[in-house]
Amino acid sequence: MVLAAMRRPLVEAFDLYEVETVAAPIHCTTEDLPEVMGAMRPRATVMMGHAHVYNSPRHTKALEAIRERWTTARGSSHAGFTGPVAVSVLAHRAMPASWPKRRMGDPDTAVPDADNIGKLVMDALAGVAYADDAQVVLLVAAKAPRFGGRDWYEVEVTYLAKRTLL
């Protein structure tokens, strides 16, 4: 509901309409995805005089875990969709045990940044929820206030179409 309220005015401003919205919660409960994370910068090293660029193993595991959880929840029936797409992500992070109870509900101002969270989810869903992340014309990424004792992503993928005048 919150994601739809944030997304709809932007979709209308681009003269698009929502064809279908698919949503799934992605829980962070295992070693491959222990917490809400954002996209990490690629790493670089020099091997035998040549630069070698690679992703962190932690980043790769998170991509695979998000992709697997989405496929389990929603399948990959839209993997071939080539039209415009809006991706909405709301990250819920647990309140640290060290915080006093009076801080419950405080805004989440710690790392990772909301845009990096959105980038990680967008990259993970490419080829599963849509053909390529270049199709994403709208990304709504937000961090919910700190509550509860577990981390999870609330993800919605909205398939869009251009309004036509008759």
**Structure token pair of residue 7:** 């997304």
pTM: 0.90
Helical H runs in 14-81? 57-74
Residue 1's pLDDT is what?
74
Residue 163's pLDDT is what?
84
**Angle between helix 57-74 and helix 114-125 axes, rounded to 10 deg:** 60
Show the low-confidence residues of the chain (pLDDT under 70).
165-166
Q: How far apart are CA 146 and CA 91, in angstroms?
A: 10
Residue 165's pLDDT is what?
63
- Evaluate whether 83 touches 135 at the Cβ level (below 8 Å): yes
- Evaluate whether 63 touches 126 at the Cβ level (below 8 Å): no
Residues 6+ apart with CB under 8 A from 67: 124, 125, 128
Residues 6+ apart with CB under 8 A from 108: 91, 93, 143, 144, 145, 146
Residues 6+ apart with CB under 8 A from 110: none
Please give the span between the terminal C-alpha atoms of the chain, in angstroms, as a whole number: 31
Give 23-65 pLDDT, tens digit per residue.
999 999 888 899 999 999 888 999 899 999 988 999 999 999 9
Domains, in order of start, for the chain = 2-162 (3.30.1330.70)
Residue 102's pLDDT is what?
87
Residue 127's pLDDT is what?
95
Residue 166's pLDDT is what?
54
